[in-house]
Structure 1
Amino acid sequence: MSNQLSNSKTSEIELLSFRVGEQEFALDIMSVREIRGWTRATPLPHSPPFVRGVINLRGTVLPIIDLAARLGQHSTDPSERNVFIVVQSGEETVGLLVDAVSDILSIKTEELQSPPEMAADTNNIFVESLTIVEDRMLRVLDLRAALLSSSSEAA
């Protein structure tokens, strides 16, 4: 049994890191389905401001969320340099518009820290944990929180 405990203490998680504006975020790699170059989305009437619209991804209608706008920053003015990360959380699959994908990182789970409680900081409701990688603060996105709110607001 002590072997199981020592293994759980040294377990690692793989994260995909990316930039949104000047900030760096990461997602659990297991939720990432693919990374695509920017494609113009078809806007939907009455959708929340952070929903850019939908695209046709191999016959599937995929909503595109402007992650900068979702996190309370200025909306992204997309160009060919932007990408979207196709992610899945439960039954929901969406594209997250980001500025750039940076790296795939293996992080020890004990290096992940809970974000401080700051009621005025609405970004923290989307941050699951924090970690420091090469002297940079990396925010691990709570994908479920970001997506569940988007689908209930869009309905």
Structure 2
Amino acid sequence: MNQQMSDQIRRRAEEGYVTAMVGDQLFGVALTQVRDVFVPKGICRVPMAPPSVAGLLSLRGRVVTAIDLRRRLGLPAREADAPCVAIGIERGQEVYGLIADRIGNVLRPAAESFEANPINLASSWSEVCAGMHRLEEGVMVVLDIESLLNAEKLKEAA
């Protein structure tokens, strides 16, 4: 790992991560990338959108593109009436809501607990994960927001 990447990981760990559960896996999004956390309501499906794009919704007067993390990661869809949450991300002029099963806490793991993606990680995960932190309770996978929101990859996700 190069020095610049190491410094970036250390900085993010010190600032913290907003965590969310998708299935049984804990995921982290760098706190500096999170705009807000909300319960998505009134999602309008977009015709011909890739399956990982759940649709559009309105949040405080702004149009938000809702990304279903389950579909983006190749996991089975959640039941229609199952509760969910969204992590609001602002990228450029666009706002996205990353839909997860449950929201967690803000964690600030030690930078030394960070590890690169294992070589046997499924490609649908490795392309959107920046690595992971080993915690006492398990592993927190760090999401790479730029890769996660890559338009070409969204089209390919099942």
Q: TM-score, normalised by structure 1?
A: 0.83
Equivalent-residue separation in structure 1 for 2:113 and 2:140 (angstroms): 11
Judging by fraction of residues, say which structure has more strand.
Answer: 1
Secondary structure at the aligned position of 1:84 is classed as strand
The one of 102, 105, 111 equivalent to 1:103 is: 105
What RMSD, in angstroms, separates the aligned Cα atoms of the two structures?
Answer: 2.4
What is the CA distance between 1:81 and its match in structure 2? 2.9
Contact in 2 for aligned 1:32/1:88 (Cα 8 Å):
yes
Largest Rg, 1 or 2: 1
Q: 1:147 to 1:75 in 2, by over 3 A?
A: same
CA contact (8 A) 2:54 2:68 kept: yes
Q: Which moved more, 1:85-94 or 1:17-26?
A: 85-94
In structure 1, runs of 5+ residues without a counterpart are 1-7
Partner of 2:4: none
Per-residue CA deviations over 1:9-68 (Å, capped at 9, x if unaligned) read 975240111100111111101111111113130111010011111011122111101100
| 2:52 counterpart of 1:50 | yes
Q: Is the 8 A contact 1:37 1:80 kept in 2?
A: no
- 1:24 aligns to 2:22 (yes or no): no
Structure 2 segments unaligned to the other structure (5+ residues): 1-6
TM-score (norm 2): 0.81
**1:74 aligned residue:** 76
The alignment partner of 1:144 has SS state of helix
- The letter for the 2-side match of 1:132 is R
Distance 1:10 1:145 in 2: 20
Residue 3 (structure 1) aligns with: none
1:1-155 matches, cutoff 5 A: 11=11, 12-79=14-81, 81-118=83-120, 120-149=122-151, 153=155
Write out per-residue CA displacement over residues 84-142 of structure 1, whole angstroms, 9 at most, x where no aligned residue.
11112344320011011111011232321111234753211111011112231110011
Question: Are the equivalent residues in 1 in contact too, given 2:89–2:97 (CA < 8 A)?
Answer: yes
Give the whole-Å Cα distance in 2 for the aligned partners of 1:96 and 1:61: 14
